Amino acid sequence: MFDKTVKQLGDALRKKEFSSTELTQAYLERSKSINSKLNAFISFDEERTLMQARAADKTLATEKSTALTGIPIAHKDIWCAKDWVTTCGSRMLETFRAPYNAHIINRFNEYGAVIQGKTNMDEFAMGSSNETSWFGNVKNPWDLTRVPGGSSGGSAAAVAAGMTPAATGTDTGGSIRQPAALCGVSGLKPTYGLVSRYGMIAFASSLDQGGPMAKSAEDLAILLEAMVGFDPNDSTSLERPAVDYSNSISDSIAGLRIGIPKEYFSDQIAPDVQTSIALALTEYQKLGATLVDISLPTSPLSVAAYYVIAPAEASSNLSRFDGVRYGYRAPEYKDLTEMYSKTRAQGFGAEVRRRILIGTYVLSHGYYDAYYIKAQKVRRLISEDFARAFSSCDVIMSPTTPSTAFKLGEKVSDPVQMYLSDTFTIAANLAGLPAMSIPCGLDKNNLPVGLQLIGNYFDEARMIAAAHQYQLATDWHLKKPPLSIA
Amino acid sequence: MPLNKQDVKKAADLARIAISDDEAEAALAPLKQVFTLIEQMQTQDTDGVEPMAHAQDISSRLREDIVTETNKREALQASAPATEKGLFLVPKVID
């Protein structure tokens, strides 16, 4: 049961091999027992979860079920789910109960999916290792001394360890793809604007995008179909015709032109990662794809531009946490200003405070042009690099990360080293392009390697098909962590 | 551009984050590293490049100016630190 994909579980539910209540109960028991080792979940609400499962069982008895009816799905704790505690990994929101549903939660509810619990994450999605969470770090199920990646590290670890069939994440600079790579699961960040941000606690609004994480590309297609769609409550939500992603995954990739950006294949990449990526590209050639050399000349500046733009937007977005309307309030203060400043000093962790300071500084008088406007100009050049590249290729491939999962604590005191673990993922966010990570190997320490695919705008269908065809020919996505549980 | 402790304290003040002298001092070194990273941008010629504020060049949608939300005051105030008679309570601002 715990090895099955969403697709397989859905088929089994409709064949009445087991009920959603049985399935959900089994996943709840397993995830609660493993959680003491991995800390992948922040909260469960068993009663609410099982109520949804029982309702799904009623729907399954009718003809109205969908591919997701009765499937338990774990949600990153950045998504508001009505009456669920929604913490965003922060002390600031430790006791916050969301008064409404995020758009994607409503969508999953309409599809009959079951909310299994809320997963751990870096505080306010700011981190690449899950070590900034107020609720403690998540451990990588492949090696408990290593990080799961971040910020959607709880979701990635939960899927990898078979604690949940599938999960949601959000990706501002790589927060779906990087943990997917480090935990050996498949994850997808859609084109900016495809999935509504309504009810996603905002980090950097021009970059944030929600997406699915699962065991296979086929599952990502099923989940994405539920998540996309126009939402009047998100001013950047796009009206697009619906795409049947799960149907188009069977499209052949013969003749697919894969762009290989030379800037993403430098010697800073770990040798085992280089080897796995090279083998994956050879596999693609066997499947009929051709490799095309491309250049993304401005992409080496993407991390620099990102660490101006994302903190700038975050410093504005996080100004709402002031101890007045929701969340934490400092216990002692002498006036209103001190209430604000103590609340924010105590409610936010060190990394969040650091990014607010960076953002405040780059937006302040005298530095705005030198930093913020400069970063936006670099962003334009990065975006134009991709536009040029896609005139000669259909999809771009690279390593998702320069190395496999690093040790807990290894990069905590060196923010720049931590930031550089997103060096290959950030450019897609700056440009707003869809991108994903799929497992493509194991290094000498038996740690997963991720292959990144970057597609053109709204070309998710082709990108997912390319991932699915690879997964039909290989079995890296089926490898499981050696986690021993009772 | 050398960042100093006063810059850190000023930014913290603008951001309404209480920070002690010692904390500002401790925050300085990692911030300097981050700004060394950020400064890499200055090597790029961006003359004549239009700033890109958003992932896609879209303009905000307009909608009819009509009420769409119902009154959810109770639900929205349920997680507030302090309320009274439907109002958010803050320390006295005007004497």
How many Å apart are CA B22 and CA A432, to the nearest integer? 40
Choose the closest CB to A305 out of B14, B41, B79: B41
pLDDT digits (tens, 9 = 90+) for A200-247: 999 999 999 999 999 999 999 999 999 999 999 999 999 999 999 999
Q: What is the mean pLDDT of chain A?
A: 96
Q: Identify the CATH number of the domain defined by range A6-256.
A: 3.90.1300.10
Cα-Cα end-to-end distance for chain B: 43
How many Å apart are CA A381 and CA A259, to the nearest integer? 18
Q: Is the pLDDT of residue A193 over 90?
A: yes
Enter the ipTM.
Answer: 0.95
Q: Cβ distance A69 to A108 under 8 Å?
A: no
pLDDT value, residue A484: 61
Per-position DSSP letters for A196-233, written without gaps between them:
--TTBPPS-TTT-EEEEEESSHHHHHHHHHHHB---TT
Q: Which 17-46 residues of chain B touch chain A by CB within 8 A?
A: 17-19, 27, 30-31, 33-34, 36-44, 46
Give the start-to-end residue ranges of the domains of chain A: 6-256
| 8 Å CB contact of B88 and A324 | yes
pLDDT value, residue B56: 75
B70 and chain A in contact, CB less than 8 A: no
Which residues of B are less than 8 Å from A457 in CB distance? Answer: 56
- Both structure tokens of A418: 């931590």
Q: Is A248 a catalytic residue?
A: no
Which residues of A are less than 8 Å from B18 in CB distance? Answer: 338, 341-342, 344-345
| 8 Å CB contact of A345 and B19 | yes
Q: Which residues contact A29 (CB under 8 A, 6 or more apart)?
A: none
pLDDT digits (tens, 9 = 90+) for A79-102: 999 999 999 999 999 999 999 999
- Which runs of E-coded beta strand occur in A77-185? 114-119, 166-171
Work out the pLDDT band at A486, boundaries 50, 70, 90. very low
Q: Which of B20, B22, B41, B62 to probe the A interface (max A CBs under 10 A)?
A: B41
Q: Cβ distance A468 to A217 under 8 Å?
A: yes
pLDDT digits (tens, 9 = 90+) for A405-438: 999 999 998 999 999 999 999 999 999 999 999 9
How many Å apart are CA A173 and CA A290, to the nearest integer? 28
**Which range is least confidently modeled, A299-303, A311-315, A317-321, A366-370?**
A366-370
pLDDT digits (tens, 9 = 90+) for A21-77: 999 999 999 999 999 999 999 999 999 999 999 999 999 999 889 999 999 999 999
pLDDT value, residue B1: 56
CB atoms near residue A245 (< 10 Å): 23
| 8 Å CB contact of B60 and A235 | yes
A193 and chain B in contact, CB less than 8 A: yes
